[in-house]
A = this chain, B = another copy of it.
């Protein structure tokens, strides 16, 4: 079977161009462009790269961005003070805290303190609760990206059997709720599988769509996939590869080369869910701005 390789970069480009157009229309109407504030604590090369990319993504679609960089030794009350200022600032529509935070800080308490109206990462319990209730405000970027990828690839969700492998708070659980929701982008029969699942192969064999979000390479192998099924790979894992300059390469949770021989459609890693996830942060930031008028 010739599998269709789903092109996350192309979908992300399309989403970004739609956001850019909406921001342009907003500005043309005399409204302020959306503004995202990024809080980064301590120094971490990977985090610095991610933050730079996020601000670059913003600037490319006309979203303005700003950055607070706090020292590694910052106290909890200094962080809370900064978040209070961000919450109170009318010119800031959206804010995120780049993770990981230094271990002496209470990450949950910090997430809880950011106003749910500006929480474009969708981490606040209010936003997860609204998602559970079927009236989401900010959907965490990864599950939003998976749904967007399926819908924009014209893959049917309605009535399909979808197996999600992984039950994390920011991917597996919210994605299960989104895809089971009774609406035109949901209505699937959804199974949540995980490390406690017995006979995973039996469970996935019944799936029309498999979403792998485990953080382990080769979680999904060809023998687990019904011929013609769709496989979406959320994983991003480093595996040693001495032929590369960095000494590693990125792979997903799926044994891509073998699984693609049986699927009707499959996402690559990189270039699948990842780029769309980046675009969803911009989408949430636009939504945060639109909530204000």
Contacts and interface: CB of A to CB of B under 8 A. Distances in A.
A134 B174 CA distance: 12
A129 B129 CA distance: 4
A133 B176 CA distance: 13
A128 interface: yes
Contact of A125 (B133, B161, B191, B192): B133
Contacts of A159: 196-198
Interface stretch (A92-100, A180-188, A215-223, A277-285): A180-188
Given A132-B132, A198-B159, A203 B177 contact: no
Interface string A190-223: 1111111110000100100000000000000000
Number of copies: 2
Q: Summarize A's interface: helix, strand, loop or mixed.
A: mixed
A167 interface: yes
A263 B116 CA distance: 46
A43 interface: no
A173 interface: yes
Interface string A124-139: 1111111111100000
Given A126-B125, A132-B173, A169-B133, A189 B182 contact: no
A191 B190 CA distance: 6
5 contacts: A125-B132, A128-B132, A189-B191, A189-B194, A189-B198
Chain A to chain B: the 8 pairs with minimum beta-carbon distance, closest first: A125-B129, A129-B129, A128-B129, A187-B196, A191-B191, A189-B197, A180-B192, A128-B132
